[in-house]
């Protein structure tokens, strides 16, 4: 049961030149967006990226960029009304720990 979201919207970018193949991004990504190929990380499934920002935050070599944020309509709408960045004001109890 793979639930999928909109195609071709993610802001995720990988700069192969900077990638050292440390593999941290494979560890932290919750959606298996990356795989290892010839000792470098490559994006195998870009459309699965939810822009959580974990990979970019944990890449010590600045090889990854993504505009991180919560994909939350309420946050986006509140942000629009208040004219700020999307702000997650909700206290969601998602299934994670």
Partner 1 sequence: MSKSSCCCSSTHEQTSCKEKNKLERSIIQKSGEIPILSTTLNSQDRVDGWKARWGIGRMNYTIQPGLYGINKPDADSPVLVTANYKLTVDKVRKELMGIDAWILVLDTKGINVWCAAGKSTFGTDELVQRIEDVQLAQVVNHKKLIIPQLGAPGIAAHEVKKQSGFLVKYGPVYAKDIPQYLRDGMKVQPEMRKVHFTLMDRLVLIPMELMPALRWAPVLMLWILIVQLLRDHRLSWGLFVEFVPFLAAILAGSVLFQILLPLLPFRSFVINGWLLGGLTALGLSALFDHSGTLVLVHALLLPPITAFLAVNFTGTTTFTSLSGVQKELAIGVPLMILSILCGMVIQIVSIF
User: Site map for ligand SF4, 21-40, x if CB under 6 A?
Assistant: xxxxx--xx-x-x-------
Between 43 and 69, whose beta carbon lies closer to partner 1? 69
- Distance CA(12)–CA(4), nearest Å, equals 16
Q: Which residue in this structure is represented by tokens 């195998």?
A: 44
Chain positions 29 to 88 lying near ligand SF4, rule: CB under 6 A, are 29, 31, 33, 41, 49-55, 59, 61, 63-64, 66
- Distance CA(39)–CA(47), nearest Å, equals 23
- With CB cut-offs between 5 and 8 Å by kind, which of ligand SF4, partner 1, none does residue 19 bind? ligand SF4
Phi, psi for 16 (deg, rounded to 5): -60, -30
Distances in Å between the Cα of 64 and the Cα atoms of 50, 58, 78, 85, 89 are: 14, 9, 28, 22, 27
Q: Kindly list the residues in this chain that would bind ligand SF4 in the complex (CB under 6 A).
A: 12, 14, 19-25, 28-29, 31, 33, 41, 49-55, 59, 61, 63-64, 66
């Amino acid at each position: 049961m793979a639930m999928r979201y909109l195609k071709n919207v993610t802001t995720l970018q990988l700069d192969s030149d900077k990638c050292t193949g440390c593999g941290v991004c494979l560890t932290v990504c919750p959606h298996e967006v990356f795989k290892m190929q010839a000792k470098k990380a490559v994006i195998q499934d870009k459309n699965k990226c939810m822009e959580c920002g974990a990979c970019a935050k944990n890449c010590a070599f600045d090889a990854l960029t993504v505009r991180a944020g919560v994909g939350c309509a309420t946050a986006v709408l509140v942000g629009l009304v208040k004219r700020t960045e999307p702000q997650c004001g909700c206290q969601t109890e998602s299934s994670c720990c």
